[in-house]
Amino acid sequence: MQLYQSQTLKIHNSLSGKKEVFKPLNEGHIGMYVCGPTVYSNVHLGNCRTFMSFDMIFRYFKHLGYKVRYVRNITDAGHLVDDAEDGEDKIAKKARLEKLEPMEVVQRYTVDFHNILQKFNFLPPSIEPTATGHIIEQIEIIKDILDKEFAYEKNGSVYFDVSKFNEKHEYGKLSGRKLEDMISNTRALNAQEEKKNPQDFALWKKAEPQHIMRWPSPWGDGFPGWHLECTAMSTKYLGETFDIHGGGMDLKFPHHECEIAQAEASNGQSPVRYWMHANMLTMNGKKMAKSTGNNILPGEIFSGDNNILSKPFSPSVVRFFMMQAHYTSILDLSNDALLASEKGHHKLMDALDAIDHLESSNSSDFDIESWKNDCYAAMNDDFNTPILIAKLFDAVKFINIAKEGKQSISAPDKIILKEILCGFVFEVLGLEGKTDEAADSDKLSGVVELLIQLRKDARDNKDFATSDKIRDQLASLGIQLKDGKDGTTFSVL
């Protein structure tokens, strides 16, 4: 008997706006598709949070004993700048600016994406298809939609006819938008516009002479629309209807709405049973954005090479920080939040190390079965990791009291406690124990903080020679001090 057979899991379905009992199409098997990155720049932390949420969900399904086919795509063509219907492809623009072949851009940032996710201890998806590897499938879907008269061709481009589709289907049911409201709030089309209506979206775009990413098609050389690739790849590998489609909340409209329309127009049925959306990550209470400087890359957190945080933080600490908020909630990153997460992470790992050293007794003061059920109840309530973590720390508290000999645990319960804790901490949450490297980093931080304090004392005493000597000798060792209004921080170069 698999564990999932004894658990009742509820998932918040974005399509209905409610929590629903999860029942896969096929007993014991799950098909899950998650929109992956557009590989034209280094993966940013907000994207990592979304992918991490679905990595946790993937892990929990596997923990329950499901066989999961997890598909997460790579967008390497078709995603236009600002998600508009006109303009340059994001990858083509990057290639032009850096004087590179587009596939050089794709390769560089795909490697970066994989490296960062590996540091965060992600499980690889079952299949990771690319948009450029599925041009034929996308063209065939366009032909099908044209044959069913839900699309039209204009000057070498093909557009999805939203108004025609809406006559028999419901465009906007995922995002809660009404087509009539969208039309009334849209400005008039200019004379050069090819689309019948502003709401129509591209299935295929004609490639202008300067466009360097192009493929032959029945309508001339061009490239696929961004929304189309996910319809082609999800249905190819998971079937015309599958269990779960996930992504960031920013993709709900128009990307996911267009996916539903394309699939229903082509296959005549709704493609996804449970739509799931992860919320955004902010920093210091503000939206993360390169333009404002309120932005940090994962690698900059790990190295400490930034002007925002006081010290480097390990990938596992950052992952633990992210798991402390529900995947549908906005999460705010700050130096204080990461410092608190680091302390919590260390307490958790120290407690796990301590279990084996607890003295066994004939009885237990800790209700293992009730605690275990509470842990599963948290995860079964739409993957509620913050509640799960609170329950894990109930066990940590008990372990610390038992270490002092003030409470007892039986030998069988000690085995169960360690097994369940390890299962949730490592298997489900995907955390990693304190490695030698992490321990060394903690020691380095302690030593540098001590030297920073000694330097401050020297400066306060007007002993600038000693102050400068500490700074310069640390710099020669590759440790850069940064003086700011909130004190001195450091980074390892």
Mean pLDDT of 22-41: 97
Q: What is the pLDDT of residue 476?
A: 78
Mean pLDDT of 8-33: 98
Task: Name the DSSP class of 82.
Answer: G
Q: What is the pLDDT of residue 448?
A: 83
Contact status, residue 198 vs residue 112, Cβ threshold 8 Å: no
Supply angle C-alpha 382, 388, 391, rounded to 5: 145
Q: What is the pLDDT of residue 394?
A: 98
Query: What is the SS3 assignment for 375?
Result: helix
Q: Dig out the tokens for 132 from the structure.
A: 């450029």
Determine the angle formed by the axes of helices 335-355 and 315-323, rounding to 10 degrees. Answer: 100
82 has pLDDT over 80: no
* Cα 88 to Cα 105: distance, rounded to the nearest angstrom: 15
Q: DSSP of 205-228, one letter per residue?
A: EEPPTT----B--TT-SEEE-HHH
Beta strand 286-287 pairing with 281-283: antiparallel
Determine the angle formed by the axes of helices 45-63 and 102-119, rounding to 10 degrees. Answer: 60
443 has pLDDT over 80: no
At residue 464 the predicted structure's pLDDT band, cuts being 50, 70 and 90, is: confident
Mean pLDDT of 247-265: 97
Mean pLDDT of the chain: 92
Task: List strand residue ranges (DSSP E) for 193-296, in order.
Answer: 201-206, 222-224, 242-248, 272-278, 281-283, 286-287
Closest CA to 226 of 239, 238, 213, 216: 213
**In CATH, which of 2.120.10, 1.10.287, 1.10.730, 1.10.10 is domain 282-428?**
1.10.730
Mean pLDDT of 317-339: 98
* Cα 493 to Cα 489: distance, rounded to the nearest angstrom: 13
At residue 409 the predicted structure's pLDDT band, cuts being 50, 70 and 90, is: very high
Query: What is the SS3 assignment for 396?
Result: helix
**193-197, 241-245, 435-439: which has the minimum mean pLDDT?**
435-439
User: Can the peptide bond before residue 254 be classed as cis, meaning omega within 30 degrees of 0?
Assistant: yes
Beta strand 409-410 pairing with 360-361: parallel
472 has pLDDT over 60: yes
At residue 83 the predicted structure's pLDDT band, cuts being 50, 70 and 90, is: low
147 has pLDDT over 50: yes
Q: What is the pLDDT of residue 480?
A: 82
333 has pLDDT over 70: yes
Q: What is the pLDDT of residue 436?
A: 47
Supply angle C-alpha 204, 209, 214, rounded to 5: 40
**108-112, 191-195, 414-418: which has the minimum mean pLDDT?**
191-195
Which residues, 6 or more positions from 256, have their beta carbon under 8 angstroms from its beta carbon? Answer: 35, 174, 175, 245, 247, 275
Confirm or reject CATH 3.40.50.620 for domain 10-278, answering yes or no. Answer: yes
Mean pLDDT of 405-424: 97
Percentage, residues of the chain above pLDDT 90 = 77
191 has pLDDT over 50: no
* Cα 216 to Cα 60: distance, rounded to the nearest angstrom: 43
Which residues, 6 or more positions from 7, have their beta carbon under 8 angstroms from its beta carbon? Answer: 64, 376, 380
Task: Name the DSSP class of 28.
Answer: T
151 has pLDDT over 60: yes
HSE-CB of 371 using CA atoms within 13 angstroms: 23
> Own/partner pairs for 367-371, CB < 8 Å, 24+ apart?
368/413, 368/416, 368/417, 368/420, 371/395, 371/420
470 has pLDDT over 90: no
265 has pLDDT over 50: yes
Annotated domain spans of the chain: 10-278, 282-428, 437-492
